[in-house]
Structure formats: structure tokens, C-alpha cells
Amino acid sequence: DFYAVLDLPRGADETEIRSAFRQLSLKYHPDKRGSSSVASHENFVQLIEAYETLCDPTRRRIYDM
């Protein structure tokens, strides 16, 4: 669930989504964590996918169906 990935409620607006993504990307970015493991990379990719989906109105509408 992309909302859970970003720790947001379903009704979150774009500002909340952007803010959550920034905070979490700083926390979980592989370069910041000093970890180059596959799991770290996959978690960060999922974070990016959640952000890109929820910030795009068309993609979000499809995702929420």
C-alpha cells in the first residue's frame, strides 16, 4: 500500500505527500544509510514509486480504484 509506504492517510494532499517523501527519502536513501544491500535499494525504489504514483492525479485515481 503506497499510503502505508509513505505513512500517510488516504486523504493526504500533495503537500503532505511531498513532505513525507522528503523526510523518508533522507532517512532511507541507500547513500545515507551506508547500505548498498538489495533490500535497501528495493525499499527506496518502492518509496519513489509511491511518491510518483500519489503525486500524479491520474495515476493516483487509478491506484485508488
Return the CATH number at 20.
1.10.287.110
What pLDDT score was predicted for residue 15?
Answer: 96
Domains: count for the chain: 1
Residue 8 structural domain: 2-64
Q: Choose among 44, 65, 64, 45: nearest CA to 54.
A: 64
What pLDDT score was predicted for residue 63?
Answer: 96
| Single pTM value for the model | 0.84
Say if residues 50 and 5 touch (Cβ distance below 8 Å).
yes
User: What is the rounded CA–CA span in Å between residue 18 and residue 6?
Assistant: 10
What pLDDT score was predicted for residue 33?
Answer: 62
The per-residue pLDDT string of the chain (65 residues; one tens digit each, 9 = 90 and over) reads 999 999 999 999 999 999 999 999 988 877 766 666 777 778 889 999 999 999 999 999 999 99
The one-character DSSP state at 29 is -
What pLDDT score was predicted for residue 27?
Answer: 84
